[in-house]
Structure 1
Amino acid sequence: MTFPEPEPLIRAADLRSIGADLRSEPPGTLHRLRRGVYVATQAWEQAKREQRHRMMLTAVAATRQVEPVYSHVSAAVIWGIPVVGPHLDRVHLHTAGRSVARTKNGIVWHHDALGSDDVIEIGGMLVTSYERTLVDLARTLPFASAVAAIDHGIRPRRSPDGLGVIVVHQERLLEAVAELGRARGVRPARASIGFADLRSGSPGESISRANMHLLRFPAPDLQVAFPRDGGGKDVTDFDWPDHGAFGEFDGFGKYIKAEFTDGRSIAEIVAEEKARENRIRKRRPFGARWDWPIAMRPELLRRELMDAGLRPIA
């Protein structure tokens, strides 16, 4: 996952240097990131949530005398690790010598000890290492969001500089958590890392699977392929063979993003999806499909799975 470079920052000092007065600026033309640091409102409104967080990171760097070390969800954004849920409204920094983490002026400070290999530089920014970032996310995010991050993190992927491949094994993450002893968040970290599965195809699938677990539904098989008559195969996200049921998470991107559409129109994609579903239903007569709003709300996901004939395990 990559994002465009953040929009250029606009500083109050720069405006004053050309004789501009912030008090006379047309209302709404500037969005305040931090005191004395702005970005064009249009750029802010058009940016995705991760891009907005990158703008916040650069604003923090511009207002600090000492180069900060970005950690937790802020490090995740830099690494391209998905952060699902409302967790990007504050910038997370690591600092040494504080007895407790605290939040002030839109910054969350963390004071856990860092090893010599726990901080690296990416694009001129100091950030916790890939492994350390995943461990911190597992310790601090809610279970479902942590699972989405770890599922993504244990799949081999290109490094941000494009020069290599990052590989972090699930077992190594569990070892890293064990090395923390009785530190805060170790127990939930073990749970989310232990539950992670590199077969998960997307953050939406990860969130869905985590909420299925919390709702006590039977564990599904993942990415199950059904051979087609005449060749080829149909792959379903979730499969419950003992219950004759399958499940599909539908992110809107599969209908509009070029990497998924391959030049097909939305109507063509919908028709192909319907034909694929009909073929799968010959093997699994009960099926459920859902999108992000349902995946994020366990009570709605429960209803979809119940309608497909699945029942929570007592």
Structure 2
Amino acid sequence: MEGARALGAIPGEGLAAAMIYPDAVFSHDSAAALLGMPVFGDPVIVHVLAPAHGTARVVAGVRVHTSSDEREVVELGGMLMTSPADTAVDLARSRHAAVGLASADAALRADEALSVEKLVHVNESRRSKRGRALARWPLNSATALSETALESISRAVIEWLGFPPPALQVTFRTSGGPTDRCDFVWPGFSLAGESDGDLKYDGRFGDPRELLRHQRERDARLRAHHVRSIAHWGWIDATTVDPLRSLLVGQGLIPVAPEQTVHLFSLRRSVSPRPPHRASIGETSADRRDRG
């Protein structure tokens, strides 16, 4: 996925750390990578937990975290890591609110027994206050209905732009036709939204021409029977904010609250897959698309 990677295995540095510290408990982005949760940017630091009496430090690319709060630990492939719930709370306390939201959404998808109430309880019950307030919005806003990191980021941007909240994963049934589902729907505006992502059409999910044909046919059914219009956007549109704002306003969606400029301004730097995070002088739009 653009900007966020769901990794099936921890990077090489993590494997080396596991060999050096066989009892290490991976946490934060490292635990997220092992658990298949989205990892934002290109993390070069391996995160591990140490006993409370240990020393927090960074040595040879390994960041050691200490905490007096207990973490639920799970085992995967012979390696120990914090649970989806504790991983989500750690990230919500230490990363941008949009990253925290995507992590919390992913944790709910990863563990069916997990709930928003449980995530909130884990955050509020920790003795350390550091990051507690920062984590409250993403944890309280989390839902398993957001199926990808892009959908989670899009939800955050839509709220921070002041637009009304959409219904998620809405199913439409057309008489005599297939069942269609949309990522976002604003019933009062007869508008649907789809956060497609460029990877959907890079060939890994089938012939891009067939995928586009099915999309056009589906959009035609929806417009004919259920909604006035359908907006499509990708990773760059959502994370650079202005394109998504312009797209939704152009489709007739009206903001109902002021923009939260602090979150929006800092978003790109927090979710970009790699530096540089800002456009350079003379850089073309094609260059920015390629950079992602």
Indicate whether 1:176 and 2:131 are aligned.
no
Indicate whether 1:293 and 2:266 are aligned.
no
User: Displacement, 1:292?
Assistant: 1.5
Distance 1:113 1:87, change over 3 A: farther
Indicate whether 1:109 and 2:64 are aligned.
yes
Distance 1:152 1:49, change over 3 A: closer
Indicate whether 1:73 and 2:19 are aligned.
no
Cα distance in structure 2, aligned partners of 1:133 and 1:103: 19
Distance 1:119 1:203, change over 3 A: same
- Matched AA of 2:242: E
2:43 to 66, 70, 88: 88
Cα distance in structure 1, aligned partners of 2:110 and 2:63: 30
Flag structure 1 segments of 5+ consecutive residues without an equivalent: 1-47, 158-165
1:251 to 174, 193, 197: 197
CA contact (8 A) 1:215 1:302 kept: yes
Matches within 5 A, 1:264-303: 265-282=207-224, 283-303=226-246
Worse-matched range after superposition: 204-213 or 176-185 = 176-185
Q: What do residues 22-70 of structure 1 show as CA deviations (whole Å, max 9, x unaligned)?
A: xxxxxxxxxxxxxxxxxxxxxxxxxx784785212012233x3563221
SS of 1:176 mapped into structure 2: helix
- Matched AA of 1:60: A
Distance 1:88 1:98, change over 3 A: farther
SS of 1:155 mapped into structure 2: helix
User: Displacement, 1:178?
Assistant: 1.5
User: Displacement, 1:296?
Assistant: 2.0
Give the TM-score normalised by the residue count of structure 2. Answer: 0.77
- Matched AA of 1:213: E
SS of 2:185 mapped into structure 1: strand
Distance 1:74 1:128, change over 3 A: same
Identity %: 34
Matches within 5 A, 1:1-314: 50=7, 53-62=10-19, 64=20, 67-83=23-39, 85-86=40-41, 88-97=43-52, 101-115=56-70, 118-155=72-109, 167-181=113-127, 183-255=129-201, 260-261=205-206, 265-282=207-224, 283-314=226-257
1:37 alignment counterpart: none
CA contact (8 A) 1:249 1:291 kept: yes
Cα distance in structure 2, aligned partners of 1:155 and 1:308: 31
Distance 1:245 1:105, change over 3 A: same
Cα distance in structure 2, aligned partners of 1:67 and 1:156: 24
Cα distance in structure 1, aligned partners of 2:235 and 2:27: 27
- Matched AA of 1:288: A
Cα distance in structure 1, aligned partners of 2:159 and 2:255: 9
2:289 alignment counterpart: none
Aligned residues: 253
Cα distance in structure 2, aligned partners of 1:291 and 1:182: 37
Higher Rg: 1
User: Displacement, 1:104?
Assistant: 4.1
- Matched AA of 2:87: T
Q: What do residues 221-242 of structure 1 show as CA deviations (whole Å, max 9, x unaligned)?
A: 1111222131432211111111
Q: What do residues 275-314 of structure 1 show as CA deviations (whole Å, max 9, x unaligned)?
A: 1112222332233111122222222221222222223223
Cα distance in structure 1, aligned partners of 2:144 and 2:17: 34
Flag structure 2 segments of 5+ consecutive residues without an equivalent: 258-292
Cα distance in structure 2, aligned partners of 1:203 and 1:194: 17
Coordinate RMSD, CA, aligned: 2.6
User: Displacement, 1:256?
Assistant: 5.1
Cα distance in structure 2, aligned partners of 1:68 and 1:156: 22
